[in-house]
Amino acid sequence: MNEPLRLELRTSPHVVKDNSVERIMFHVVLALLPIAAFSVWQYGLSALALLVTVTGTCLLTERLFNRLGGTASTLSDWSATITGLLLALTLPPAFPLWMGAVAGFTAIALGKALFGGIGFNVLNPALVGRAFVQAAFPVAITTWIPAFSAQRFSEFAPTTFTLPFMTPPDIGDWARAAVDGFTGATPLARWKFENVLAAPGDFLSGAVTASAGETSAILILLCGLYLAVRRFLDWRIPVAVLGSAALTAWVFQMIDPARYPDPLFVLLSGGLMIGAVFMATDMATSPVTPKGVWLYGALIGVVTVMIRYFGGLTEGVMYAILIGNALAPLIDQVTQPRVFGAAKGKKA
Amino acid sequence: MTEATLQPATPSAAMIRTLGLVATVCGVLIVTAYEGTLDAVNANKKLALERAVFKVIPGAAKVDEYFATPAGIQPAATGTPEGGVKFYAAYDQAGTLKGIAAEGAGKGYADTVRILYAYDPARQVVTGFGVVAMRETPGIGDKIYTDPAFLKNFEALDVKLSADLKSLANAVKVVKHGSKQNAWEIDAIAGATVTSKAVGRGINDSAQKLLPLLVPNLEKLNAAPQSRVSAFPPIAKGGEGGFEAAPTPSSTQNPPQPPFTKGGSDLASPRQEASS
Amino acid sequence: MIPGQKQLTNMEELLEGIWKQNPVFVMVLGMCPVLAVSVSAMNAISMGLATTFVLVGSTLLVSLLRSVIPKEVRIATYIVIIATFVTVVDYLIQAISLAVYDALGAFIQLIVVNCIILGRAEAHASKNPPLRSVLNALGMGAGFTLGLFALGAVREILGAGKLFGVALFGPDFQPWVVMVLPPGGFFVLGSWLLLFNWLNSRKTDAAQAKPVEGHAHV
């Protein structure tokens, strides 16, 4: 097909080099690669297989819906790749591949394609996929494997190649054989149910039980910093999310230090880091007004801590961000800046 | 089309006549349906109840409904007494009392969990339970009737009465997964603690109310299955012989506390023996 | 009879509700029972049959009485008639199977407020002779049952690995818990609606001899 000649009419300033969607997305992919690589180094072949499967399913689904809708391929805008990578990084490394494929399909189909593709989605597609499999397979999504096991590059976790539609086998014995004294509980679960706090050092070295991409706080922050410096993401969102989460945690610790953990634990555990840096910042699903951005970030941080402390689940980042996404249009509306010169109290 | 606006209003008499006609037709239909299905509905209800009781009391062949009241035990057929607690007595083919079943209810994760549990009067233990109704999360809450480790709790759950026969000696308690130590504790299912607790609370609340009323009067049940009493006098193999038909290791460790002998019809006798 | 409307044959009248005016997939009516009781194929079929019974019975009675019902009290009359048949079906289900009765719960009584039934009484039975009304109601009932079954089958297969209680995948099947929860009902209903609309839009596209980029950005 011949592209028609495009004449763009716009007012000044005329930026010479445009920040196209493709360019931003490509850099986000670049920033995600070190985190993905770290998770593979940590968890070995199973994590790699999951990354490839989920991302592949996302790309195939995107292509399928391009076909059905009769539109040009949107694979080259990298957004499906990001969704796939992010989704895989939030899943347990030993998640059965067929469930990963279900998550990937749901993420793109339900989270994105049904709304009209990139830019029209209301919710973060990766989190839609994760929320679906969380509701569908509650056991598999909380089955974790130990990090840095000796055989991680020579064998897959027994659950990885579960046949489609079949229940994954119990991996307790396998995991205990690989790493002595492995409990299979995340630091958040151990805090919630056993009142055991993990040492901050464990989080930094990645020696904790968690989803593939949740363990490397420093790496996530560095990659986020790169994107923020290059202005590919709005630095205010992660700052607001992490800041409000830390503040809420601090307030609770003031009230009852014996019961509530310190803010550092709240920041480092679970998916808060990767959620704040890579998911809450999704441009299509976050507010655009300056005040709205702060409000949105703060809301996610507070809701995350509330779910962790008072909810039935151990981790609340996913639902907190989805709630934030759903409220983003409303936040935009109520934080609309006043048009310069307009009378006070009048609707713009 | 325009005639609707011109049409004169229907006179009230016509409206009343029509409504009366419709009401009559409908009334006849409903009464016919009710009369026609009544027997089948009652038979179904009885069958469903029996099936539920037979499930928790294996070997039972007949179920009678009773109310336990402070004044004694009376068959449910004679009406619902004030403050009575309903229970079901299950008998085998020969008319021997196989066990008691009663309903319990506890607040679960989504809604009240209603269960039917079986009580073995000889050993003073709960020997099993079945779910009557619940709305717990499928795949999580329904472990209470699929998880073999959890069901093991109910092979011989201790509900023996205290010495004064006023309440359970030890309240049934649900404890954290893997920390069961006593026969009256229930090991919760990891990940389904709320639903596990609902079961435990349901049994405890019901047993606390029912057993103090029931145990002093067990004699009557042993001797009198409502409808089989004349055909199969439960003398030959009655009483304890029937309960020990299915021996479990715990039945020897948990000897019946107040011994129920076949002969004595004195209601006070278990009380005396227990306190002595 | 409505002037200007094409007279349908009896066969068309029957098929109307099954496909062209399917209450679930086209008219999207009666969604409350559709979402609530479609966790298994058996429940879905039972609910569909119960609704069909009420639908046929009440439209027959409404159609027979259509000339004597004054328009001022017609809605009240219809509701009384519908409530009667719901009560009858309530007894019938209890007599046939208590298990089904418990599974359907309050949704049997709630058939009274199923808008398909009042809709049929008002829009069709009050203007057509008994035979046509019953045919139309049968078709609508069949369409409703079909819609419920379409949801119930998918939800039972994915949510429990069974169809009509028969295990399809063996004991190792991994149930999709979400499918038996309320969100699963919405997901499956949405998917079916998507499929139906997609098929319909393809049909209209094909009929309209190649439209030039008309609806792509709507």
Which residue in chain A is spatially nearest to B190 when comparing CA positions? A193
- Are residues A322 and A218 located together in one domain of the fold? yes
Place of tokens 């299905």: B37
Whether the per-residue pLDDT at A219 is higher than 90: the answer is no
The residue range of the domain holding A111 is: 21-143+145-183
Confidence (pLDDT) at B1: 47
| Of residues C69, C76, C91, nearest to B41 (C-beta) | C91
pLDDT of A313 > 80? The answer is: no
Is A165 inside any structural domain?
Answer: yes
Same domain, A215 and A162: no
Distance CA A117, CA A34 (A): 27
Q: Give the contacts of A74 (CB within 8 A, at least 6 positions apart).
A: A62, A66, A80, A117, A118
> Which of C157, C162, C178, C199 is the best residue to mutate to test the A interface, defined by the most A CB atoms within 10 Å of its own CB?
C178
A168 and A41 fall within a common domain: yes
C174 closest CB neighbour out of A69, A110, A165: A165
C100-103's contacts with Cβ under 8 Å and 24+ in sequence apart are C100/C42, C100/C43, C100/C46, C102/B133, C103/C37, C103/C40, C103/C42, C103/C43, C103/C46
Query: Is C7 in a helix, a strand, or coil?
Result: coil
Query: Domain tally for chain C?
Result: 1
Segment 153-172 of chain B within 8 Å of chain A by CB: none
Task: Establish if A40 belongs to a structural domain.
Answer: yes
Mutate to test the interface with B, among A193, A194, A195, A313 (most CBs of B within 10 A): A193
Do A213 and A306 share a structural domain? Answer: yes
Range of C151's domain? 13-207
pLDDT value at position B123?
82
**pLDDT score, position B253:** 37
- Strand, coil or helix: what is A215? coil
Q: Do B26 and C80 touch (CB under 8 A)?
A: yes
Name the helix (H) or strand (E) containing B67: strand B62-69
Whether residues A301 and A315 fall in one domain: yes
Residue where a domain stops, chosen among A183, A201, A231:
A183
Instruction: Judge whether A292 lies within some domain.
Output: yes
Instruction: Tell me the C-alpha distance between B191 and B189, whole Å.
Output: 6
Which residues fall within 8 angstroms of residue B201, CB to CB, at 6 or more apart? B104, B106, B107, B174
DSSP 8-state secondary structure symbol assigned to residue C173: B
Residue A345 lies in a domain: no
- Cβ distance A135 to C181 less than 8 Å, yes or no, reads yes
Q: What is the mean pLDDT of chain A?
A: 82
A127 with A153, same domain: the answer is yes
Return the minimum-mean-pLDDT range out of A169-183, A269-283, A328-342. Answer: A169-183
Residue with tokens 């009464």: B31
Chain C residues inside the 8 Å CB shell of A130? none
Instruction: Tell whether B139 is within 8 A of chain A (Cβ).
Output: yes
- Chain B CB contacts of C84 below 8 Å: 26, 29-30
Is A330 within 8 Å of A320 (Cβ atoms)?
A: no
φ/ψ of residue A240, rounded to 5: -65, -45
Is C217 within a domain? Answer: no
Show residues of chain C in contact with B18, CB under 8 Å: 65, 68-70, 73, 77
A92 with A201, same domain?
A: no
Query: Is A68's CB within 8 Å of C198's CB?
Result: yes
pTM: 0.73
- The closest CB to that of C91, out of B18, B26, B33, belongs to B33
In chain B, positions 74-93, which contact chain C (CB-CB < 8 Å)?
none
pLDDT averaged per 10 residues in sequence order, chain B, 276 residues:
58 86 92 91 84 82 81 75 81 82 84 86 85 74 80 83 81 81 83 84 87 80 54 37 34 37 35 34
Whole-angstrom distance, CA of residue A347 vs CA of residue A150: 64
Interface mutation vs chain C, best among A130, A167, A170, A319, most C CBs within 10 Å: A167
Least confident segment among A17-26, A102-111, B43-52, C50-59 = A17-26
The answer, yes or no, to whether residue A346 has pLDDT greater than 50, is no
Residue of C nearest to A110 (CA): C187
Q: How far is B45 from chain C (nearest CA, A)?
A: 7
Cβ distance of C70 and B34 shorter than 8 Å: no
**Cβ atoms of B185 and B171 closer than 8 Å:** no
- The pair of structure tokens assigned to A306 is 């509330």
Q: Is residue C127 part of a domain?
A: yes
Cα of C83 to nearest chain B Cα, Å? 9
Domain count, chain A: 2
Range name among A107-121, A313-327, A332-346, C128-142 with the lowest pLDDT average: A332-346
Q: What is the structure's pLDDT at B52?
A: 82
Helix (H, G, I), strand (E, B) or coil at B238: coil
What are the chain A neighbours of B110 within 8 Å (beta carbons)? none
Q: Is residue A7 part of a domain?
A: no
Question: Does B148 contact A at CB distance below 8 Å?
Answer: no
Residue B175 has a pLDDT of 83
Do A104 and A212 have their domain in common? no
Same domain for A71 and A217, yes or no, is no
Q: How far is B63 from chain C (nearest CA, A)?
A: 18
**B30 and C94: CB-CB below 8 Å?**
no
What's the pLDDT at B242?
33
Residue C3 lies in a domain: no
Specify the residue for token string 């509900």: B159
Residue B172 contacts residue B204 (beta carbons within 8 Å): yes
Residue A216 sits in the same domain as residue A150:
no
Q: Which residues of A touch C187 (CB under 8 A)?
A: 110
Q: Are A179 and A206 part of one and the same domain?
A: no
Whether residue A62 lies inside any domain: the answer is yes
Q: What is residue C48's predicted lDDT score, i.e. its pLDDT?
A: 93
Asked if residue A266 and residue A150 are part of one domain, the reply reads no
Chains touching chain A at 3 or more Cβ pairs under 8 angstroms?
B, C
Q: Give the C-alpha separation, C212 to A124, whole Å.
A: 33
For chain C, list residues with pLDDT below 70.
1-6, 209-218
**What is the rounded distance in angstroms from the CA atom of residue A103 to the CA atom of residue A109?**
10
CA distance C108 to C133: 23
Asked if the structure places residue A346 within a domain, the reply is no
Gap between the Cα atoms of B52 and B102, Å rounded: 11
C61: in domain: yes
Would you call C175 and B139 a contact, using CB atoms and an 8 Å cutoff? yes
pLDDT at C82: 93
Q: Which chain A residues touch C173 with a CB distance below 8 Å?
A: 165-167
